Amino acid sequence: MKKIRKIGILTGGGDCPGLNAVIRAVVHTACNGHGIEVCGIIDGYAGLIHKNVRPLIPADVSGILPRGGTILGTSNSDNPFQYSELGPGGVREHRDVSAQALKTIEYNEIDVLITVGGDGTQIIADRFFEKHGLPVVGVPKTIDNDLNGTDVTFGFDTALNTATIAIDKLHSTAEAHHRVMVIEVMGRYAGWIALEAGLAGGGDVILIPELPYRIDKVCDKIRQRTASGKRFSLVVVAEGAKPEVGELVVARKVNDASDPIRLGGIAAKVANQIEDMTGIESRYTILGHVQRGGSPTPFDRILASRFGYHAVEAAVSGKFGYLVGLRGTEIKTTPIKEAVAVPRRVKAEDDMVRTAKAVGTCFGV
């Protein structure tokens, strides 16, 4: 195997707390542990397309461990295999510019590329590996926690903490005003944030994409609480939740992103239906991007650091085309292709679903 002299690292897709911890761990492990140079690709795959690369030395990553976001920047709309740009007449066209991205790799003498991101980022990484033979190592990142190959992704714990704190705050105002409070959380098509934040925050109703709900069942639960003297209720709803009969609530559609559908707005729909059907005042709160920001929790800092360290070790060992991930208490590797084949979603028989039902939570089913 060719000796590795330089590692490139990029952060792709949506931002989340813990990205800087990965970058820091990669730089220190590579430079101090193996004498390998590191360079950062700016703004995800866009940096490869537009030749935007910078060297990274240990001094560059000093003090970034507790910082949210990413010092390298990120993008979720620059797929080198389907790059979107305006053509003649202002018509948007899609082109394969992967060869152009590879020239950036070659020019900067990058031997291995570490890709930090969710399913979209890793699918692109796997295409580079399979089609062009580019040595890649994946690091799983997403607040949605929906990537296979790992028991948990970094960023999720911080988002979960943010959502739980918000639910706790809304609990007191719901109780004071005798209202139904509907809290919308992120997660795309996976219900992990809603499920765990709802369980941790004492949600009376939790609505997730994996279990299509009936609004009459939701209202029955709220009426039961009212009849028993509990004059308020908390409803935690994932942005991708949908009724048993009906469609997803879509905020808008965009053409140049890896996922053209932007979810959002389900909380307003549910709150209005509850108020119309029960006569109980209902308000809604959409947490949105506050779940992505802020300083990472200790768990996410440690997990991200472990991922960064093991990504470098995988690269040095020649484990290309693999994703590092947490399995139990150990860091293991899984082929990227296997990790992105099927999203990791909540199952009806999952232990946390059974636990939530046991403590009286309604899923609207």
- pLDDT tens-place string over residues 236-249: 999 999 999 988 88
Cα dist from 106 to 109, 169, 311, 356, whole Å: 5, 52, 21, 52
Predicted local confidence at residue 55, as pLDDT: 98
Task: Say which range, 166-175, 246-255, 282-291, 340-349, has the weakest mean pLDDT.
Answer: 246-255
pLDDT mean over 259-270: 89
pLDDT above 70: residue 125: yes
Do the Cβ atoms of 153 and 140 come closer than 8 Å? yes
Q: Average pLDDT, stretch 97-120?
A: 96
Q: Is residue 261's pLDDT more than 90?
A: no
Lookup: tokens for 300: 């996410």
Q: Are strands 282-286 and 112-117 parallel, antiparallel or unpaired?
A: unpaired
What mean pLDDT do residues 308-331 have?
A: 97
pLDDT for residue 358: 97
Specify the pLDDT at position 9: 98
C-alpha to C-alpha distance for 224 and 179, rounded to whole angstroms = 14
Cα–Cα distance between 125 and 320 in angstroms, integer?
Answer: 10
Q: SS3 for 7?
A: strand
Catalytic center residues: 144
Q: Which pLDDT band holds residue 257 (cuts at 50, 70, 90)?
A: low
Token reading at 284: 């809604």
Range 129-151 average pLDDT: 96
Residue 175 has a pLDDT of: 92
CATH class of 159-292+347-358: alpha beta
Q: In this structure, are residues 344 and 330 in contact, taking their beta carbons and an 8 Å threshold?
A: no
Tell me if 306 sits within 8 A of 21, measured CB to CB.
no
Query: Which residue has better confidence, 87 or 227?
Result: 227
- Whether residue 89 has pLDDT greater than 80: no
Contact 22, 12 (CB under 8 A): no
Q: How far apart are CA 177 and CA 180, in angstroms?
A: 9
Same fold, 6-154+296-328 and 159-292+347-358: yes
d(CA 7, CA 4) in angstroms, rounded, equals 7
Cβ–Cβ < 8 Å for 108, 8: yes
Helix (H, G, I), strand (E, B) or coil at 129: helix
- pLDDT at position 334 is 97
Range with lowest mean pLDDT among 7-16, 83-92, 111-120, 355-364: 83-92
Q: Please compute the mean of the pLDDT values over residues 306-331 and round it to a whole number.
A: 97
- Provide the pLDDT for residue 258: 63
Distance CA 147, CA 325 (A): 10
Instruction: Tell me the pLDDT tens digit for each residue of 153-212.
Output: 999 999 999 999 999 999 999 999 999 999 999 999 999 999 999 999 999 999 999 999
3 state SS of 50 = coil
Per-residue pLDDT at 124: 96
Which sequence spans correspond to the domains of the chain?
Answer: 6-154+296-328, 159-292+347-358
* Domain 6-154+296-328 listed as CATH 3.30.70.1380: no
How many Å separate Cα 277 from the centre of its chain? 34
Helices (H), the chain: 19-28, 34, 45-49, 98-107, 119-132, 156-177, 192-201, 215-227, 266-278, 298-316, 336-339, 351-358
What's the chain's average pLDDT? 95
